[in-house]
């Protein structure tokens, strides 16, 4: 019976009831010290579901000895349902087969498909889909994760990814972990307190202890249930008197005392089991036989309930018993046991682990074996596990240069796992051991990537370009491209120019350098040709997939989409980014998506697809959080600052700009656009002048058109002319229709003539950027109204008002309507039809669009990294908002932007 846990039991019961009755899902982390009752609560949760029929409860217990074995916990959890893998989407099934590592489950990926092991988060997605498929008609599924602090990191990542994305599957995931471990999960937590005195007395009352002993045990146990049971079972308090020992240490001492009273052969068997760690009977017995003991020697330990022995495993009743058995033995005996386990091991990872534990000094042979284990983990995308093994291999390496290489590999893998501080520390350690230029360059590359992720791309660009000068030839080009991109986006122009000097033949770096140097005539056409080539050779079909190396400068569609945005080729950027997002979804490349979605959102905003951009950014932010990269959230959210500025939402704009990285040109560009819309021309002028003379002048040339308008409105024609010359040169060099139209609008503002306005409006009719078209039509309508051509003015003003209304550009819409009233048009302009998209949440919008196109729920789930039940839940919520009741009616709605 559990004493004093009524509130905790009620919360868990409520989660299970919601999953059973309403198909809701939930996750909860139980946290507390050793012995506080976490495992007992998990057992209570399991008792809420039937024990017969299909598997309702899946269990995994973290094992300290397996924390360095990739996906050891996942194998334990999913082995009972491994027959369900074939029902998963192929990329997910292949990734999960790879993780489970069973030859009988392995299957070759389809021809032309991406390697399923390239993205570690695909495995988490596969776990989510598999769990969502289990409930069916048989009720909820309960996933119990005990001792989560000892899960291998690959399993922990996969389970947490699934837990964070639960919604409407009928799945409950309960994790239990120690106080000081398994942190930063993002899950709701329930911290278990020690028992109150009355509950502790009830627990001890079962023991029939004398009052003096009971009082002593109560004081020693301090409300810890395990301590109450163990010290009470001993019949006396511990022998520590008034020593201020933690409760767990008092229980540990009690276990050590029990173990110390056992025969030597029993203690040796307990030590072998503790060192083996997994409870794997064949491994334990093989080592035991080599040391002259056997299963019969465990009999005394079984009698006092220190271990439970079954036909297949040996389990310690509590992890503290295993700790007492292992750490209570002398070092020489522990080393001998690990050697015996290594000599009899049949699994290479286990052999490497025990050989490492038995090593008393650096040993290259052992280090190489641990390095092999690291490579196996790396191939299965268990980056944190592989990094830890490389680090262990480095500790065992006698030669400094080889140790530096292994520490460098550990640093790189740690970076891929998202552990920035640890990656930087490992790189520093490696740098102290080598003077070899190529190795130092590789380590500098890690430092640069760390700085970029931390939010200092200017420092990152300098580091990357400087390091590239000393890098190996096969690495130099990629480093220089990356350094140039970092420098371009952050305004570190000297790094861009130096990269071009070091890599003169690369068109990407050369094009960026020309633009950074203010040379539009050559730079824009050069980048334009690269974009055209990418569009011609990188179609969305699997056969045309562009090879990816994970490097921003590797020549893939993402880089081409970035270049398209730089030159203002909006439709090309949208096409390329959409194709890359489609590929990432098709192959389950979850980790790459936040950056690709950011690029897509920028293209969507440029082309007036604001609702789509909101949904895209919302997904990117959630994925960044789910994949352990919350530091990217501010950068992703800041993309929407232009939308907030267009809509006149000053409060939201302030919040988004506050989250923007300090190197972003949006900090001035977006508020200046808001000022223009609200008629605050002097404020806009100050911001835009600062932008035109600051480090981002090369990447915000389009804002020069805003500067023209602000300067004209503020009565500074000289400044307006300078800005116009700059924008016109950029527009003519790039040849983008929208830019040429805006250039004509600027000319009209300066000359106060109709002809440039009329030509601009004509060009806008076949260009992207509806917001810019509406601005041109508004200014043309104002000019016509001032020329007393009221009837003529109404045509562009009505068009502008319709576009502004569709884009929710409130300040600009107010101006257009005021101008219409000034022409004599009564009332407001005729409102456009209500936008159905505004009724939906970003997630609902994505689901509805795909469903309307005939995509099945299962296919939608695979594309959006959700479960099919969550997709159905979003459709259920969206139907009444749209006034429909089925997919057939959904397909008849207009859900694409005009």
Closest CA to 360 of 336, 390, 389: 336
Residues 6+ apart with CB under 8 A from 75: 99, 100, 101, 102
Place of tokens 């690709």: 596
Q: What are phi and psi of 279, to 5 degrees?
A: 80, 15
Q: Per residue in 642-698, pLDDT tens?
A: 999 999 999 999 999 988 887 778 888 999 999 999 999 999 999 999 999 988 888
Structure tokens at 643: 């939308």
Q: 653 and 674 in contact (C-beta within 8 Å)?
A: yes
Domains of the chain: 6-191 (3.40.50.300), 197-260 (no CATH), 836-890 (1.10.10.10)
Least confident of 170-179, 197-206, 235-244: 235-244
- How many Cβ atoms are within 10 Å of 855's Cβ, its own excluded? 17
Structure tokens at 63: 């094992």
Q: Per residue in 251-280, pLDDT tens?
A: 888 899 999 999 999 999 999 999 999 999
Q: Per residue in 214-235, pLDDT tens?
A: 788 888 888 888 888 888 765 5
- Whole-number Å distance between alpha carbons of 865 and 605: 24
Q: Is the pLDDT of residue 555 over 60?
A: no
Q: Is the pLDDT of residue 340 over 50?
A: yes
Q: Is the pLDDT of residue 239 over 80?
A: no
Q: Is the pLDDT of residue 621 over 90?
A: yes
pLDDT at 114: 35
Computed over every residue of the chain, the mean pLDDT equals: 88
Closest CA to 508 of 488, 537, 535: 488
Q: Is the pLDDT of residue 552 over 50?
A: no
CA atoms within 13 A on the CB side of 702: 21
- How many Cβ atoms are within 10 Å of 881's Cβ, its own excluded? 14
């Amino acid at each position: 019976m559990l004493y004093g846990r009524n509130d905790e039991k009620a919360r868990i019961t409520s989660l299970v009831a919601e999953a059973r009755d309403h198909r809701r899902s939930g996750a909860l982390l139980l946290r507390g010290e050793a012995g506080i009752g976490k495992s007992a609560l998990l057992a209570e949760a399991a008792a809420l579901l039937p024990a017969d029929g299909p598997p309702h409860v899946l269990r995994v217990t973290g094992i300290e000895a397996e924390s360095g074995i990739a996906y050891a916990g996942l194998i334990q959890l999913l082995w009972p349902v491994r027959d369900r893998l074939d029902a998963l989407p192929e990329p997910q099934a292949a990734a999960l087969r790879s993780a489970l590592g069973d030859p009988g489950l392995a299957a070759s990926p389809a021809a032309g498909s991406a390697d399923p092991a390239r993205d570690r988060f695909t495995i988490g997605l596969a776990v989510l889909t598999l769990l969502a498929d289990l409930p069916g008609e048989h009720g909820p599924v309960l996933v119990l994760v005990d001792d989560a602090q000892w899960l291998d990191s690959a399993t922990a990542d996969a389970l947490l990814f699934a837990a964070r994305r639960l919604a409407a599957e009928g799945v409950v995931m309960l994790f239990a972990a120690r106080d000081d471990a398994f942190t930063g999960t993002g899950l709701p937590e329930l911290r278990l307190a020690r028992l109150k005195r009355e509950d502790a007395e009830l627990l001890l009352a079962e023991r029939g202890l004398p009052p003096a002993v009971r009082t002593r045990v109560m004081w020693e146990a301090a409300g810890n249930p395990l301590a109450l049971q163990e010290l009470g079972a001993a019949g006396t308090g511990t022998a520590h008197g008034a020593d201020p020992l933690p409760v767990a240490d008092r229980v540990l001492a009690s276990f050590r005392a029990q173990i110390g009273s056992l025969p030597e052969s029993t203690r040796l068997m307990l030590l072998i089991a503790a060192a083996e760690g997994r409870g794997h009977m064949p491994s334990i017995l093989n080592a035991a036989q080599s040391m002259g003991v056997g299963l019969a020697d465990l009999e005394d330990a079984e009698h006092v309930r220190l271990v439970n022995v079954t036909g297949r495993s040996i389990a310690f009743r509590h992890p503290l018993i295993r700790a007492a058995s292992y750490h209570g033995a002398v070092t020489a005996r522990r080393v001998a046991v690990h050697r015996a386990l290594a000599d009899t091991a049949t699994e290479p990872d286990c052999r490497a682990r025990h050989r490492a534990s038995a090593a008393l000094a650096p040993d290259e042979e052992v280090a190489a074996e641990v390095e092999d284990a690291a490579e196996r983990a790396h191939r299965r995308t268990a980056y944190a596990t592989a990094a830890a093994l490389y680090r262990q291999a480095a500790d065992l390496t006698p030669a400094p240069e080889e140790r530096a290489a292994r520490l460098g590999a550990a640093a790189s893998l740690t970076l891929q796992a998202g552990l920035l501080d640890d990656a930087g520390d490992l790189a520093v350690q490696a740098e102290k051991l080598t003077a070899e230029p190529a190795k130092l360059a590789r380590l500098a590359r890690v430092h640069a990537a760390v700085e970029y992720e931390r939010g200092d791309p200017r420092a990152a660009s300098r580091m990357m370009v400087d390091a590239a000068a000393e890098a190996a030839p096969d690495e130099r080009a990629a480093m220089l491209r990356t350094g140039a991109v970092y420098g371009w986006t952050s305004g570190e122009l000297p790094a861009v120019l130096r990269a071009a000097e070091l890599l003169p033949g690369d068109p990407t770096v050369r094009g960026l350098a020309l633009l950074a140097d203010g040379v539009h005539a050559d730079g824009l056409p050069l980048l334009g040709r690269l974009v055209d080539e990418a569009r011609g050779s990188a179609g969305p079909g699997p056969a045309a997939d562009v090879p990816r190396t994970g490097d921003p400068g590797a020549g893939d569609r993402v880089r081409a989409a970035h270049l398209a945005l730089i030159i203002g080729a909006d439709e090309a950027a949208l096409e390329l980014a959409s194709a890359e997002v489609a590929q990432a979804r098709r192959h389950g490349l979850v980790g790459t998506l936040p950056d690709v979605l950011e690029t897509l959102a920028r293209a969507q905003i440029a082309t007036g697809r604001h609702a789509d951009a909101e949904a895209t950014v919302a997904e990117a932010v959630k994925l960044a959080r789910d994949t352990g990269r919350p530091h990217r959230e501010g950068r992703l959210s800041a993309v929407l600052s232009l939308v907030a500025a267009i809509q006149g939402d000053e409060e939201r704009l302030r919040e988004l700009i506050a989250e923007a990285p300090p190197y972003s040109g949006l900090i001035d560009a977006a508020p200046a656009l808001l000022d223009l819309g609200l008629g605050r021309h002097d404020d806009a002028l100050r911001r835009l002048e600062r932008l035109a003379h600051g480090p981002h002048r090369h990447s915000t040339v389009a804002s020069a058109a805003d500067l023209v308008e602000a300067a004209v409105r503020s009565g500074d024609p000289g400044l307006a002319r300078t800005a116009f010359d700059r924008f016109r040169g950029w527009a003519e060099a790039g040849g983008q229709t929208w830019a040429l139209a805006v250039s004509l609008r600027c000319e009209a503002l300066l000359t106060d003539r109709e002809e440039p306005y009329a030509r601009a409006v004509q060009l806008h009719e076949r260009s992207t950027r509806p917001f810019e078209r509406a601005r041109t039509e508004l200014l043309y309508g104002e000019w016509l109204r001032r020329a007393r051509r009221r009837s003529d003015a109404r045509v562009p003003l009505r068009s502008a008002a319709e576009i502004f209304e569709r884009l929710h550009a409130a300040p600009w819409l107010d101006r257009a309507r005021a101008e219409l009233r000034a022409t004599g048009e009564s009332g407001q302009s005729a409102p456009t039809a209500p936008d159905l998209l505004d009724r939906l949440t970003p997630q609902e919008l994505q689901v509805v669009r795909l469903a309307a196109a005939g995509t099945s729920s299962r296919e939608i789930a695979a594309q959006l990294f959700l479960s099919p039940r969550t997709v159905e839940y979003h459709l259920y919520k969206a139907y009444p908002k749209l006034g429909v009741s089925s997919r057939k009616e959904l397909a008849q709605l207009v859900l694409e932007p005009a």
